[in-house]
Amino acid sequence: MIDDQVLQFVIQVASREADDLGYDELRAPTAETVLYGDDNGIDSLSLVRLVAALERAAERQFGRRVVLADERAMSMRRSPFRTVATLAELLQERLGGPHA
C-alpha cells in the first residue's frame, strides 16, 4: 500500500511540472493518472524529465538521494512508470518503506 505522504508528494511534483512538460492532465493528477505506456500517457522525453524532477525533489524533501530510472526499474515485469500510483510505489520502495 502506498504511503499517503509519498503519493501526495508525487502528485505535487507532477502538477508543478505540468506546464513545462505541456500536459494538461498533469495539472491536477490523481493516483490513477496515466503517465506512460498508454495512448493517453506522456512521451518518453517528458517521462525522463518528470522522473529527474521527482528525484531532485525527493532528495530535498526526504534528505536521501534516490534513483528511480535504473536497470531494476526498467526490467520490471510491469512498468513502475504506468501511473502516478505506480511511480509513488517505486519511490516509496526506494526510500525504504512508508514515510510518515
Q: Which domain holds residue 45?
A: 4-95
Question: Is residue 100 domain-resident?
Answer: no
pTM: 0.90
99 pLDDT above the threshold of 70: no
* Domain CATH for 66: 1.10.1200.10
| Structure confidence at residue 38 (pLDDT) | 74
Distance CA 20, CA 92 (A): 25
| Structure confidence at residue 100 (pLDDT) | 44
> pLDDT of 63-87, one tens digit each?
999 999 998 888 888 889 999 999 9
Question: Is residue 58 domain-resident?
Answer: yes
| Structure confidence at residue 5 (pLDDT) | 93
* Helix axes of 84-95 and 44-62: crossing angle, nearest 10 degrees: 40
Overall number of domains in the chain: 1
Distance CA 72, CA 19 (A): 30
> pLDDT of 32-47, one tens digit each?
999 998 788 999 999 9
